[in-house]
Amino acid sequence: MPLREGGALTSVKPGPDVDTERSAGLDLLRQPVAIAAGAASALALVLFNIYAFILGDRAPWLLGGILIADMLVVATGIAVAVREVLRTREITQQAEETVARTRGELEASEARLARIVDSAMDAIITVDEGQNIVLFNRAAEQVFGCRREEAIGRPLGRFIPARFREAHRGHVEHFGRTGVTSRRMGDVTTLWGLSADGAREFPIEASISQTGEPGRRYYTVILRDITLRKQAQDTLARQQEELRTLSARVLEAREEEKTLIARELHDELGQLLTALKMDLAWLRERIPAGDPELASKFEQMGAMLDQTVGATRRISADLRPMMLDDLGLADAASWLVEEFARRAGLECRMESSVTLDLSSLDRAVANTVYRALQESLTNIARHAQAKRAWVVLGANDGELLLEIEDDGRGIAPEDLEKSRSLGLKGMRERVSYHGGSIDIARAPRGGTRVRLRVPLRFATAGEASS
């Protein structure tokens, strides 16, 4: 087997080309002209022999000549035969030397290959078609806690947890039939190995390759123990999940706080301002007539009180629209869109195809969708330079769909990565916490389109009344 080592390709060298020489001589003898000439000479000699024998004493010179010719032919035959025997012996000797040298090189090659396989960091196991182990390197010894001598000749299944054995055997056989040279194993699931004493199962990462032909196929599995990596991945996933829950909880707490402040503003401050307005009206009726300066001061105070009442309502509604609780998501969203169009001075319409009653929608889900709409509209006012915007609310297959589009400058992919911008990130976080998805991209019409889907969830009777 040719083996690359230190950049040089070492391979088995052919011996001297003795066979070529010999076969050239034989080829010459096989030429039709040579065969014909040889046969003709032999026939002529036989005929001369018969003729000399018939003539007998009458032609002694012919008899003598023929005898000499016969002896010459026999001597030549013996010489050729001796030469062939000597040459055959020489060729056999050279062939034996070549075989010995080739065997030596082959053994050296195999030893080098074994050293390379043994020095590999990953476990390497080769099995035959019956899935019995024929190669087991040092890393495999460490991974499975089993000496090579104890592994060779034993079934591979011994290193696979019992519940996966059959399936694994089937996968390897199927791989053999596909004829694919190599592939990764366990792309979709985690593979498990079993220590030789059967006490420890551990996750592994493996690839498989095959060599040989049907009936004499070998499968080589290269694998590594990924216990530490899997532990780190699991820890990371758990921490991410905890962070997601924490951030959702923080957002919820913020929402609850806002609701509280909104209620205080609406109930406490609103009532005090109303009382103040009534007192002002009472006072105004009692001031002496004919004092224009006092009358104008009362006018100003009344206007300022109206403004304060309006501002309080607006701030309270921004913090948490009572409508979301009172009327449900669809009407609250519609109010928000109208307010936005009026305040931002752009044309904005909302279409709702929701036929379901959303008034008992889970509060956290309703909040998430409402806040997403609020953030998207604020973004349009702040960044889009748009003239028109469209909002579509719909429900479909147990999901709530919200789409907000504008005809502004359009969002760039790098806008989504801005480290100081939190609006879209918070939106994404909340939506994914509720099992939904969000897509923010440049719209076909050129502006920006935000699309989100959140699974519909309704409040249970207990939650609704709380």
Ligand X SMILES: Nc1ncnc2c1ncn2[C@@H]1O[C@H](COP(=O)(O)OP(=O)(O)OP(=O)(O)O)[C@@H](O)[C@H]1O
Where along the sequence are the contacts to ligand X (CB under 6 A)?
379-380, 382-384, 406, 408-409, 411, 415, 418, 421-425, 448
**277 or 409: CB nearest ligand X:** 409
Q: Cα–Cα distance between 159 and 198 in angstroms, integer?
A: 8
Binding of residue 426 to Mg ion (CB under 5 A): no
Among 7-15, 107-115, 253-261, 376-384, which window interacts with Mg ion (CB under 5 A)?
Answer: 376-384
Identity of the residue, 168 or 449, whose beta carbon is nearer to ligand X in the bound complex = 449
| Least spacing, CB of residue 421 vs Mg ion, in Å | 6
H or E element at residue 325? helix 322-326
Checking DSSP bridges between strand 347-352 and strand 388-396, what pairing results, if any? parallel
Residues 344, 381 contacting (CB under 8 angstroms): yes
In a 10 Å sphere around its CB, with 0-12 CB exposed, 13-18 middle and 19+ buried, how is residue 180 labelled?
exposed
Using the rule CB under 5 A, which residue among 423, 442, 455, 457 binds Mg ion? 423
Candidate segments 153-161, 204-212, 372-380, 437-445, binder of Mg ion by CB under 5 A: 372-380
383 makes contact, choosing from Mg ion, ligand X, none, with CB < 5 to 8 Å by partner type, with ligand X
Residue (334 or 379) nearer to Mg ion, CB:
379
Residues whose CB falls within 8 Å of the CB of residue 366, separated by 6 or more in sequence, listed in order:
324, 328, 329, 332, 358
Give 124 or 424: the residue with its C-beta nearer to ligand X: 424
Residue 203: both structure tokens together: 């996750």
Smallest gap from Cβ 423 to Mg ion, in A, equals: 3
Rg of the chain taking only CA atoms, in angstroms? 49
Burial of 332 (0-12, 13-18, 19+ CB in 10 A): buried
In angstroms, rounded to a whole number, what is the distance separating the alpha carbons of residues 25 and 222? 53
Region from 212-220, 233-241, 421-429, 446-454 binding Mg ion, contact rule CB under 5 A: 421-429
CA 220 to chain centre: 22
Nearer to ligand X (CB atom), residue 423 or residue 455: 423
In the complex with Mg ion, which residue's Cβ is closer, 133 or 389? Answer: 389
Residue sitting closest to Mg ion (CB): 423
Nearest to residue 343, comparing CAs of 317, 362, 324? 317
Instruction: Indicate the residue among 205 and 415 with the shorter CB distance to ligand X.
Output: 415
Q: What residues have CB less than 8 Å from 13, skipping those under 6 apart?
A: 101, 105
Residue 318 beta carbon to ligand X: minimum distance, rounded to whole angstroms: 14
Which position among 137, 210, 379, 448 is part of the footprint of Mg ion (CB under 5 A)?
A: 379
| Only segment of 207-215, 238-246, 305-313, 423-431 that touches Mg ion (CB under 5 A) | 423-431
Q: Which two tokens stand for residue 67?
A: 């005898």
Closest among 459, 448, 422, 423 to 329, alpha carbons compared: 459
* Contacted entry of Mg ion, ligand X, none for residue 95, CB cut-off 5 to 8 Å set by kind: none
Max intra-chain CA distance, the chain = 190
At closest approach, how far in Å is the CB of 390 from ligand X? Answer: 12
The listed partner (Mg ion, ligand X, none) that binds 415, CB under 5 to 8 Å by sort, is ligand X
Q: Which does 422 bind (CB under 5 to 8 A by kind): Mg ion, ligand X, none?
A: ligand X
From 20-28, 266-274, 375-383, 393-401, span contacting Mg ion (CB under 5 A): 375-383
